[in-house]
Amino acid sequence: MKPSASLLFPNSRLLAQADIPVLPFDEFRSHVVHAIGRGARLAAYYGEPRTDGWIRVHALLADGRQGRLGWCAADVKDCYPALTPDCTAAHLFERELAEQWGVRPEGHPWFKPVRFHRAYRDGADAWGRPPQAPLEPCVTDFFRVEGEEVHEVAVGPVHAGVIEPGHFRFQCHGERVFHLEISLGYQHRGIERALVGGPTPRTLPTMETLAGDTTIGHALAYAQIVEALSGAQVPARAHALRAIALELERLANHTGDLGALAGDVGFLPTASYCGRLRGDFLNLTALLCGNRFGRGFVRPGGVGFDLNRDQVRELDRRLGQIFDDTADAVELLWQTSSVRARFENAGPLSRETCVALGLVGVAARACGLERDARHEFPIGLYQFAQIPVSTLPAGNVFARAYVRWLEIQRSTAFIREQLVMLPEGPVRVATRPLAPGAAVASITEGWRGEICHAALTDGRGRFAHYKIVDPSFHNWMGLALALRDQQISDFPLCNKSFNLSYCGHDL
């Protein structure tokens, strides 16, 4: 294995497509497997169609210790030896690659569709399904446990709460869950395919709604791509306002999650206060841009709205108040032994499993891993102002809840600090046409975890390919494994402790 097998670069650096090494497949495979074995992560792994009917497989390797991303590729035709047997983190990426481009990863241990759509390559189907047969979502094989008194519980797509659709299949023995299999795809809107040929006026709203609770996170990852491709220098004030918006998004969602976790163990005071406080945090985002989810705020080249002095003071004042109320509501959780006991005795995940699956975000930090893109691949304001990485080793619901609380405290302190020393100046610069024949990979730390976008442009500076990896794509399997040997009645609690996105996964 040569260390030079990948092109190494920092977050959101403009690259020439021609500089991405295209390796013979065996070399590509062993390079990726070795890099992952030595501590890198698979940030993205996807196929790009070539004109000659071949599919170019791209691997983006994230090495947090060096703060560098590695990019390498290999060309495949209809099948190749799967990476998953030697690199668990590739399991869902390889299924996705097969579904999109009809390329079969030979030896994949659990080879099923991901989103239930036809392949994008004419006539190709990795499962050999006839093109005229209807394609029904989640009508597929499920892992089954046989034996006396073993039973199966199927939930979804339409759930009891006001949430997105997905299908959950439990193999149970009494109350005990032997195995949970999660099958998604109901939310598939064909986003990646529609981005090809862009950017168009619709590209940015698509980024803002691909996972609507992560509007700022995804819009930022996209803006970083466009800025790299067009050589735009984002003004300092815009960087600061973007970081404030990203942390506000984290505050709103983490607070909502803590409230929902309290609700799932029947502790209503915190559930009821945090439900309201989440909305109060969303209103702070609306103070920035008029929309509670941050739509219209992040724009390539900067941000769409500035804050005047009064608005800065108002934001700081309200944030202080809301934080005090949140502290009051959340501390109740830790002071109540019945809540602690329920949190501590549910949904454990080992550090080894977390590393093998390549989990990101709160779920990874709650297994003791210092995995945070703001720290590992800092960009924008995070290059100059650090937020301590919040970790806890326990890997259970308590750890995932407490890491959120640590992050609420640190994000609030960070925002208030930034509001005092907001740089002066403009908040947006115009962007120029995008560089042709280029490649960019961008990473941001959304509230769920690492968001990765990767773009390739064609000869006219249009998107020839655009890849989106929502943190949920890495993490759904973590939830499935955290449920093993748990009570099925603890599913809502475990599920909320991950709180993953369906639409971000399904795209």
Binding site for other proteins (CB under 8 A): 115-117, 136-137, 157-158, 160-165, 185-191, 194, 200-202, 204-206, 208-213, 215, 256, 269, 272-273, 275-276, 278-279, 282-283, 286-293, 295-296, 304-305, 325, 328-329, 331-332, 335-337, 501-503
| Minimum separation from the CB atom of position 382 to other proteins (A) | 25
| Minimum separation from the CB atom of position 172 to other proteins (A) | 20
- The residue (of 264 and 376) whose beta carbon lies closer to other proteins is 264
3-state secondary structure of 48: strand
Q: 446 is written with which tokens?
A: 């959304």
Handedness of CA 366, 447, 209, 165 (dihedral sign): positive
Distance CA 52, CA 493 (A): 49
- The residue (of 105 and 301) whose beta carbon lies closer to other proteins is 301
What single string gives the DSSP state of each residue in 122-145? TT--TT---TTS---TT-S-----
Handedness of CA 9, 12, 14, 19 (dihedral sign): positive
Q: Which of 366, 411, 360 is nearest to 391 (CA)?
A: 366
| Minimum separation from the CB atom of position 399 to other proteins (A) | 22
| Minimum separation from the CB atom of position 160 to other proteins (A) | 4
| Minimum separation from the CB atom of position 120 to other proteins (A) | 11
- The residue (of 233 and 337) whose beta carbon lies closer to other proteins is 337
Per the DSSP assignment, residues forming a β-bridge with 44 are: 60
At position 79, the amino acid (one-letter code) is: C
Q: 167: how many CB neighbours lie within 10 A of its CB?
A: 21
| Minimum separation from the CB atom of position 183 to other proteins (A) | 11
- The residue (of 340 and 410) whose beta carbon lies closer to other proteins is 340
- The residue (of 444 and 499) whose beta carbon lies closer to other proteins is 499
Distance CA 48, CA 37 (A): 25
- Cα 77–Cα 80–Cα 83 angle in degrees, nearest 5: 140
3-state secondary structure of 231: coil
- The residue (of 197 and 212) whose beta carbon lies closer to other proteins is 212
- Break the chain down into helix, strand, coil percent, rounded to 5: 45, 20, 40
Instruction: Report CA-CA distances (Å) from 51 to 75, 77, 412, 455.
Output: 12, 12, 50, 18
| Minimum separation from the CB atom of position 88 to other proteins (A) | 27
* Packed helices 268-289 and 236-264: angle between N→C axes, nearest 10 degrees: 160
Burial class of residue 130 (count of CB atoms within 10 Å of its CB; 0-12, 13-18, 19+): exposed
Residue 114 contacts residue 89 (beta carbons within 8 Å): no
What single string gives the DSSP state of each residue in 310-359? HHHHHHHHHHHHHHHHHHHHHHHHHH-HHHHHHHHTS----HHHHHHHT-
| Minimum separation from the CB atom of position 125 to other proteins (A) | 17
| Minimum separation from the CB atom of position 180 to other proteins (A) | 20
- The residue (of 286 and 356) whose beta carbon lies closer to other proteins is 286
Q: 393 is written with which tokens?
A: 């080793």
Q: What are the start-end ranges of the E strands in 64-128?
A: 68-76, 79-81, 104-106
CA 187 to chain CA centroid, nearest Å: 16
- The residue (of 87 and 216) whose beta carbon lies closer to other proteins is 216
- The residue (of 105 and 449) whose beta carbon lies closer to other proteins is 449
| Minimum separation from the CB atom of position 268 to other proteins (A) | 9
Residue written as tokens 């997105």?
Answer: 164
- The residue (of 108 and 167) whose beta carbon lies closer to other proteins is 167
| Minimum separation from the CB atom of position 331 to other proteins (A) | 8
| Minimum separation from the CB atom of position 140 to other proteins (A) | 13
- The residue (of 34 and 340) whose beta carbon lies closer to other proteins is 340
Residue 167 contacts residue 182 (beta carbons within 8 Å): yes
3-state secondary structure of 176: strand
- The residue (of 29 and 254) whose beta carbon lies closer to other proteins is 254
- The residue (of 107 and 212) whose beta carbon lies closer to other proteins is 212
| Minimum separation from the CB atom of position 372 to other proteins (A) | 23
